[in-house]
Amino acid sequence: MIAKFLKEHNADFIILHGSSNDANFYYATKFKTYDPLTYIIGIDGSDILLVPEMEKRRAERESRVKEVVSLNDLRYMEKLKEMKDAKKAYLDILVSVLKEGRCRKLLLPEELPTYISFELMKHFQVEVVKNPFMKLRIIKSSSEIEKIRDTSNAILRCVKWAVENFNFKTCEELRSAVELKLFSDGYLAENTIASSGKTSSDPHEIGRGRMEDHVVLDVFPKSVDHLYYSDFTRTIFLRKNPELEEMYKAVVDAQEKAVGMIKDGIDARDVHQLVKDVFDSYGFKTEKGEGFIHSTGHGIGLEVHEEPRISELSVELKKGMVVTVEPGLYYSEIGGVRVEDTVVVRKKDCEILTPFEKFIRLY
């Protein structure tokens, strides 16, 4: 696919620079590194990963790259002594590698660091492009789906534990307990949403202080091992609140109808419209920044938010996509409620990776 992309742009190479914190870089190389490295892919199918000497053997063993070259192999230390500037020495080596490959035109992803882009523009014809690996990541392989399933199962174990042992008084206590439990199992959760009261009317408010009648618990960790995310939300009722529970009833109904609609070939915009129609049928209007104020869902994988989006835009859902379905209702004088599951798009339907009770009442 990358060779085809290069051909379409009449280019010889594309260059990536990043670490495994960069989803596109990790997807392309399958190499875990927390220091930025440079990866060069050629139109002829060649690819080179430039690494420090200490990472060479590990990169040869663990990455999917055909050729791993250490900076020492390219006389980096000599260049550093000569130039007395680490970035200049690195860029000199990078330019030399590309010239050796007879590069004429080079594709630069939008996120490439500016100092690299400006230097390469001095030596080659360049074109700034959207990273092609973003599109490749949209359809998940069976092994990627199993990794997301693994993280989903970790969430389900954790939430089951939290519900069965629910003696938390504050949003902070619940959030800390969930994040520590997940971390002890090998999953990293940050900024977990445990939001209660009227402040839950802000969808991304993480929650602070004593929990009131309900708490919106939104958990979206990644595996420390394979780095894939999952995403899950339930609204937990701690005390009876008919107004919030009526809102949540509509949200669950909208979500179940949306999940029932998702399959290969469906337009995501139609799924989003269905959710809005359900809310209208219950009398929950959206206006002046209140009501249903976000998209119905988003893709998930090596990032917690990635393509495709289930929103106002027309996007064909395809088999192998993994998306969230997360309608919610938010009113500043009442609070907010949301339900969310991660699903895999199949040929004739979708598979829910986070099956869990929808109505959780602890009163």
Are the beta carbons of 254 and 327 closer than 8 angstroms?
A: yes
| Confidence band of 359 (pLDDT split at 50, 70, 90) | very high
* 261 and 290 both lie in a single domain: yes
Q: Cα(188)–Cα(181) distance, rounded to whole angstroms?
A: 10
Peptide bond into 52 cis (omega under 30): no
Predicted confidence band of residue 238 (pLDDT cuts 50, 70, 90) = very high
- Same domain? For 118 and 153 the reply is no
pLDDT score recorded for residue 190? 97
Concatenate the DSSP letters of all residues of 186-217 into one string. Answer: TEE--S-EEEEGGGGGSTT----SB--SEEEE
**Domain's final residue, options 136, 159, 183:** 136
Give the domain extent around 110.
Answer: 2-136
All residues at 6 or more sequence positions from 99 whose CB lies less than 8 Å from its CB, including other chains: 123
For position 94, what pLDDT does the model report? Answer: 97
Domain final residue pick, 136, 166, 184:
136
Q: Give the per-residue pLDDT at 308.
A: 97
89-93 mean pLDDT: 96
Q: How far apart are CA 194 and CA 31, in angstroms?
A: 34
Q: How confident is the model at residue 360 (pLDDT cuts 50, 70, 90)?
A: very high
Neighbours of 309 (CB within 10 A): 18
Quick check: 14 and 133 in contact, CB under 8 A? no
Shared-domain flag, residues 112 and 186: no
Q: In this structure, are 99 and 204 located in the same domain?
A: no
CATH number at residue 23: 3.40.350.10
Length of the chain (residues)? 363
The reply to whether 173 and 48 lie within a common domain is no
How far is residue 126's CA from residue 117's CA, in Å, rounded to a whole number?
9
Same domain, 197 and 309: yes
Give the three-state DSSP class for 355.
coil
Of 79, 104, 136, the last residue of a domain is: 136
Examine the domain organization and report whether 155 and 237 are in the same domain.
yes
Identify whether residues 86 and 214 lie together within a single domain: no
**Residue 166 to residue 159: CA distance in whole angstroms:** 10
Query: How many CB atoms neighbour CB 358 within 10 A?
Result: 16
Domain shared by 215 and 122, yes or no: no
Give 106's Cβ-side CA count (13 Å radius): 27
Model confidence pLDDT, tens digit, residues 215-224: 999 999 999 9
Same structural domain for residues 191 and 284?
A: yes
